Chains A and B, each alone.
Chain A
Amino acid sequence: MKTTRRDFIKISSLGAGTIALGTPAIKFLAGADDSENKGKSGAVTRTPNYCEVCFWNCAGWVYKNEEGKIWKIIGNEDDPHSYGRFCPRGTGGVGMYYDEDRLKTPLMRVGEPGNQTYKEISWDEAFEHIAGKMKEIGGKYGNESIALFKHGSSGKHFGKLMSAFGSTNQAGPAYAQCKGPREEAFALTFGEPLHSPEPLDIRDTKCLVLIGSHLGENMHNGQVQEMSEAIDKGVTVITVDPRLSTAASKSKFWLPIKPATDTALLLAWINVIINEELYDKEYVDKLTIGLDKLKDHVQQYTPEWAYGITTIEPSQIRATAKAMADASPSVIVHPGRHATWYGDDTQRIRAIAILNALLGSYGRRGGFYLPTKAKLPGFPSEKNPNPAWSWRDIEPEKYPFASDGVTNLLVDGSHPDYKGKHSIKAWFVIGTNLPVSIPNTKRTVEAMDNQEFIVVIDTMPTEITGYADIVLPECTYLERYDDIRVSPHREPNIALRMPAAEPKYESKPAWWMAKELAKRLGLDAYFNFENYSEVLDWQLKQIGSSLEEMKKIGVKKFEREFDDLYFAPGEIPEFFTGSGKIELYSSELAAYGFDPMPVYKPLPEPEAGFYRLIYGRAPMHTFSRTANNPNLTDLMKENSVWINPKVAKEWDLKNDQKIWLKNQDGAISSFPIKVRVTERIRWDSVYMVHGFGHKDKRLSRAFGHGLMDTEMITNVLIDKESGGTGMRSNFVTFLTEKPEKEVQS
């Protein structure tokens, strides 16, 4: 097996730095020239930023009113992520700043672990205590024993600190709870993961197939906008979903599939496209490897076979395969994003990747474009030490294709039942609410209870902060500098985040926390700057811009180096796979004992009286982190459970009735949820939006509103290739009376 592809995508570290200076008290707004940002009396002012309410990171302008108060956020016209228009979450991002429930000062637990009583402490006390604990625990067990769970822009600053400290035990839910299997499936097929934003040429596509994406409910902004543009141009949308999603309602074909059978449908499509010779012959001949093997393999997967599994009629399967082929190569079988469903997710997404390859859409106009990004050099810094071990060593036999930190491996290594040599003894958690974002909360809590020390950095008192020994209040993205956004897109582009206001309360930026901790750990050389604006200005000047310029424009685009947005006609590119070709048959998977081509394997089914729990997104909320935002709770303050009218009748359930849910393992929800009786959901499933049912009373608007789906997700089927946690094999039943809470699995 070649490892070149994964080595290729790693980003190399940087050169040596110089001596750090002392740290006087600094104003975070202060830069070389920030007078324009102080909100002159009587004038409306604006500063550039990119959004942190979700990972799409749209660039926009933060407006302050005549009194100098933050007023509204509007998209930046030059930004390819937002095209000048924010989604509701970004527009409501001002609520993050004004939320009076924010964490305000550093906090220290009083008394024993498990005692959720905290006292306010100073930043100096917090840093001294944390640095002391890091040295103590690092001294006892090695610095590698301290793990970092991270998300978003601020996670990067602590990632840098932990790498400098000597621990690469770093992971985020964005991989193993989200797009991990997808990234590996595309890497195994095309040699490269998709990254973010996905390089989908939706605006020019003629056929968009959504199987595992509900655009319009997930507000992946640029994609939602391009889908709307494509609708204007007459695109054929095919949506596969057991629920009439928003996108399904806009589709020419809605295939209301039986949940957990997607792979069967995908294989039947492949069967039709090969057997009816609907594939792009020249493309497949020249660019791919394994067609003969694939053809033999899929003979068993006829549309008639799939009908019995998926409940989709063979004529519909053939008609939709034909519609895709008619549009080829301007067709996109959407790769999805949150792909961790059933524990066979790398294989399922491999089927999607193979379908795209057969349709010749990868590297073609209206299919997948070939992204590029600006080459922004890293700020000079000391070289990181080489840790003795890393997350992969916790269970060395597991997840050979994981190319990024696997959160659940860190949980495994932290758990009292761990028998291996590489135990985790302390956690740093920044920007992610782990009891809600990682399934099987009970196990996560057991792992936390087994830690000697936990530090949580967040803007809000989310559930995870209740498990911390020390809580550090981070300021919001509207009050800080962060790294320049450098994202892959059609054109290289960069975006600036700068503070629009001083941090509220005692909150501080993560870069400052990391730097102050580094100072106390003797790691000053890794944070060789006073204010992060210096770092940005230095970086920007290396590529012909400057902080001064970026403050005025917010987003800067560059020319593509080559005219290579798509493959040239007749071009035979080399792919970073073992064979150098697009791998319909994966030798890499075969070498590790996995199925080299996707195989349909039946998944668990609900018992009588139970329904498959499907969860998803609402356009006005992100994960579990926005449920307390005053602007966004105004739009949606709780989730409901969608129940088909036939099922509701059987159970005598009415709209807005409050019920509790119990799952197949006996887990009972902490809070009730309102019933929504609707034809939009199949009779064998129920649906709810993720991210509600918060249990921390300090979240005054979110506490007790709705139900936390993660509580119902105790059966986690792990994707053996990537480590992704499949969460959609959980089944629930309804409790109409308030349950006694002694049963909790």
Chain B
Amino acid sequence: MRYAMAIDTLKCVGCSDCVVACQTENNVPHGYARDWITETVDGVYPSLELEFRSERCNHCDNTPCVRTCPTGASHIIEGGIVKVTPGKCIGCGACIQSCPYDARFSSPEGWVDKCTFCDHRIANGQDPACVEVCPTHCMYFGDLDDKNSNVSKVIANRKWKVLAPEAGTDPQIFYLI
């Protein structure tokens, strides 16, 4: 079991629905977000390329955040999902510093928060809130070990990239290009 996400940049319009859906689903306090939109523009008018990306924790295979956590609050659960146990987190912020994706933040309660791939929803057979809400249907979620899963199929059939491959974290969010 290896959960992963593929996001089609050819369809994403950068609307931020994934962001607000995550916030309401997970009761993320106002002013904080577990996912966000990045926009990149290349070229000179009118020869331009524009890309929107919905970004979040990459649930890496090689996890600097888990390695640097002094208390074991950051940990990996089944399917490779990286999670934080609030009761164990002392809010030292070592994981925030170590993450090449800037995917973690200190919550108002003092512990470090981040994307969970909505593991509470996966347990009920549902997709993460961001995937379920996306009005462009640009996100695919599933098990990479299952060759018939949606995410396996699009990664097999489309060109893709990952973010900050040079960091060597083996990220599990794939951007279809």
Please determine whether chains A and B interact with each other in the same assembly: yes
Q: Which residues of A contact B (CB under 8 A)?
A: 71-75, 85-88, 91-92, 94, 215-217, 219, 221, 224-225, 227-229, 231-232, 244, 246-250, 254, 256, 619-620, 630-632, 634-636, 644, 678-683
CB distance from B151 to the nearest CB of A (A): 16
**Which residues B15-71 have CB closer than 8 A to chain A?**
15-17, 19-21, 23-25, 27, 30-31, 33, 41, 43-46, 48-52
Expressed in whole angstroms, the Cα–Cα distance for A682 and B17 within the complex equals 28
Q: Which residues of chain B come closer than 8 Å to A88, judged between CB atoms?
A: 15-17, 19-21
Contact, CB under 8 Å: B15 / A619: yes
CB distance from A745 to the nearest CB of B (A): 32
Expressed in whole angstroms, the Cα–Cα distance for A446 and B15 within the complex equals 38
Contact, CB under 8 Å: A219 / B30: no
Taking a contact as CB atoms closer than 8 A, the residue among B16, B48, B134 that contacts A635 in the complex is: B16
Given contacts A679-B44, A682-B45, contact A224 B20 (CB under 8 A): no
Expressed in whole angstroms, the Cα–Cα distance for A632 and B17 within the complex equals 10
Contact, CB under 8 Å: A228 / B137: yes
CB distance from B177 to the nearest CB of A (A): 13
Expressed in whole angstroms, the Cα–Cα distance for A86 and B17 within the complex equals 8
Given contacts A224-B13, A228-B136, contact A632 B46 (CB under 8 A): no
Taking a contact as CB atoms closer than 8 A, the residue among B13, B44, B45, B135 that contacts A85 in the complex is: B135
Contact, CB under 8 Å: B41 / A217: no
**A-B contacts, 19 listed (Cβ < 8 Å):** A71-B27, A72-B24, A75-B133, A85-B133, A85-B137, A88-B21, A91-B133, A215-B13, A216-B15, A219-B15, A228-B135, A231-B11, A246-B50, A247-B13, A249-B50, A256-B46, A634-B30, A679-B45, A680-B48
Q: B10: CB under 8 A from chain A?
A: yes
Taking a contact as CB atoms closer than 8 A, the residue among B23, B50, B132, B136 that contacts A225 in the complex is: B136
Expressed in whole angstroms, the Cα–Cα distance for A683 and B46 within the complex equals 11
Given contacts A228-B11, A246-B13, A679-B43, contact A92 B48 (CB under 8 A): no
Given contacts A246-B52, A619-B15, A679-B48, contact A94 B24 (CB under 8 A): yes
CB distance from B15 to the nearest CB of A (A): 4
Q: Which residues of chain B come closer than 8 Å to A644, judged between CB atoms?
A: 45
Q: Which residue of B lies closest to A71 (CB)?
A: B24
Expressed in whole angstroms, the Cα–Cα distance for A71 and B134 within the complex equals 18
Taking a contact as CB atoms closer than 8 A, the residue among A71, A221, A250 that contacts B135 in the complex is: A221
Q: Which residues of chain A come closer than 8 Å to B25, judged between CB atoms?
A: 72
Contact, CB under 8 Å: A249 / B45: no
Contact, CB under 8 Å: B50 / A224: no
Given contacts A94-B24, A630-B30, A683-B45, contact A225 B19 (CB under 8 A): no
Q: Which residues of chain A come closer than 8 Å to B136, judged between CB atoms?
A: 216, 224-225, 227-228
Q: Which residues of chain B come closer than 8 Å to A631, judged between CB atoms?
A: 20, 23-24, 30
Residue from A87, A254, A630, A644 with most neighbouring chain B CB atoms (10 Å): A87
**Which residues B118-175 have CB closer than 8 A to chain A?**
132-138
Contact, CB under 8 Å: A620 / B16: yes
Expressed in whole angstroms, the Cα–Cα distance for A370 and B27 within the complex equals 43
Expressed in whole angstroms, the Cα–Cα distance for A247 and B135 within the complex equals 14
Given contacts A232-B11, A249-B49, A635-B19, 12 further A-B pairs with CB under 8 A are A71-B24, A71-B27, A73-B24, A88-B21, A91-B20, A244-B45, A247-B13, A249-B50, A249-B51, A636-B16, A679-B41, A680-B45
Expressed in whole angstroms, the Cα–Cα distance for A408 and B14 within the complex equals 35
Given contacts A72-B25, A634-B30, contact A219 B48 (CB under 8 A): no
Contact, CB under 8 Å: A219 / B135: yes
CB distance from B45 to the nearest CB of A (A): 5
Expressed in whole angstroms, the Cα–Cα distance for A216 and B9 within the complex equals 13
Q: Which residue of B lies closest to A227 (CB)?
A: B136
Q: Which residues of chain A come closer than 8 Å to B132, judged between CB atoms?
A: 74, 85
Closest 7 CB pairs of A and B: A216-B13, A619-B15, A249-B50, A228-B136, A256-B46, A88-B17, A72-B24
CB distance from B84 to the nearest CB of A (A): 21
Expressed in whole angstroms, the Cα–Cα distance for A634 and B22 within the complex equals 12
Expressed in whole angstroms, the Cα–Cα distance for A637 and B19 within the complex equals 14
Expressed in whole angstroms, the Cα–Cα distance for A728 and B64 within the complex equals 52
Q: Which residues of B contact A (CB under 8 A)?
A: 10-11, 13-17, 19-21, 23-25, 27, 30-31, 33, 41, 43-46, 48-52, 132-138
Q: Which residues of chain A come closer than 8 Å to B33, judged between CB atoms?
A: 634
Given contacts A72-B24, A254-B46, contact A634 B31 (CB under 8 A): yes
CB distance from A459 to the nearest CB of B (A): 19
Main secondary structure of the interface of A (DSSP, over half): mixed
CB distance from A622 to the nearest CB of B (A): 13
Q: Which residues of chain B come closer than 8 Å to A86, judged between CB atoms?
A: 17, 133, 135
Expressed in whole angstroms, the Cα–Cα distance for A254 and B133 within the complex equals 29
Expressed in whole angstroms, the Cα–Cα distance for A216 and B23 within the complex equals 21
Contact, CB under 8 Å: B10 / A231: yes
Contact, CB under 8 Å: B10 / A87: no
Q: Which residue of A lies closest to B49 (CB)?
A: A249
Given contacts A249-B48, A620-B20, A679-B48, contact A228 B15 (CB under 8 A): no
Q: Which residues of chain A come closer than 8 Å to B43, judged between CB atoms?
A: 679
Contact, CB under 8 Å: A678 / B31: no
Q: Which residues of chain A come closer than 8 Å to B135, judged between CB atoms?
A: 85-87, 219, 221, 224-225, 228
Q: Which residues of chain B come closer than 8 Å to A94, judged between CB atoms?
A: 24
CB distance from A644 to the nearest CB of B (A): 6
Q: Which residue of B lies closest to A232 (CB)?
A: B11
Expressed in whole angstroms, the Cα–Cα distance for A87 and B20 within the complex equals 10
Contact, CB under 8 Å: B24 / A91: yes
Expressed in whole angstroms, the Cα–Cα distance for A86 and B132 within the complex equals 10
Q: Which residue of B lies closest to A217 (CB)?
A: B13
Expressed in whole angstroms, the Cα–Cα distance for A619 and B135 within the complex equals 11
CB distance from A224 to the nearest CB of B (A): 5
Given contacts A91-B20, A91-B21, A228-B138, contact A244 B48 (CB under 8 A): yes
Expressed in whole angstroms, the Cα–Cα distance for A301 and B18 within the complex equals 46
Q: Which residues of chain B come closer than 8 Å to A73, judged between CB atoms?
A: 24
Expressed in whole angstroms, the Cα–Cα distance for A659 and B52 within the complex equals 27
CB distance from B126 to the nearest CB of A (A): 11
Expressed in whole angstroms, the Cα–Cα distance for A227 and B33 within the complex equals 28
Given contacts A634-B33, A679-B44, contact A87 B137 (CB under 8 A): no
CB distance from A247 to the nearest CB of B (A): 8
CB distance from A37 to the nearest CB of B (A): 19
Q: Which residues of chain B come closer than 8 Å to A215, judged between CB atoms?
A: 13
Q: Which residues of chain A come closer than 8 Å to B134, judged between CB atoms?
A: 85
CB distance from B124 to the nearest CB of A (A): 11
Contact, CB under 8 Å: A678 / B23: no
Expressed in whole angstroms, the Cα–Cα distance for A85 and B21 within the complex equals 11
Taking a contact as CB atoms closer than 8 A, the residue among A229, A244, A630, A683 that contacts B50 in the complex is: A244
CB distance from A28 to the nearest CB of B (A): 24
Contact, CB under 8 Å: B52 / A256: no
Residue from B23, B43, B45, B132 with most neighbouring chain A CB atoms (10 Å): B45
Q: Which residues of chain B come closer than 8 Å to A679, judged between CB atoms?
A: 41, 43-45, 48
Taking a contact as CB atoms closer than 8 A, the residue among A225, A246, A256 that contacts B137 in the complex is: A225
Q: Which residues of chain B come closer than 8 Å to A74, judged between CB atoms?
A: 132-133
Q: Which residues of chain B come closer than 8 Å to A227, judged between CB atoms?
A: 136
Q: Which residues of chain A come closer than 8 Å to B19, judged between CB atoms?
A: 88, 634-635
CB distance from B39 to the nearest CB of A (A): 9
Q: Which residues of chain A come closer than 8 Å to B21, judged between CB atoms?
A: 72, 88, 91
Expressed in whole angstroms, the Cα–Cα distance for A680 and B52 within the complex equals 14
CB distance from A702 to the nearest CB of B (A): 14
Q: Which residue of B lies closest to A630 (CB)?
A: B30
Q: Which residues of chain A come closer than 8 Å to B45, judged between CB atoms?
A: 244, 256, 644, 679-683
Q: Which residue of A lies closest to B43 (CB)?
A: A679
Contact, CB under 8 Å: A619 / B49: no
Q: Which residue of A lies closest to B36 (CB)?
A: A635
Q: Which residues of chain B come closer than 8 Å to A636, judged between CB atoms?
A: 16
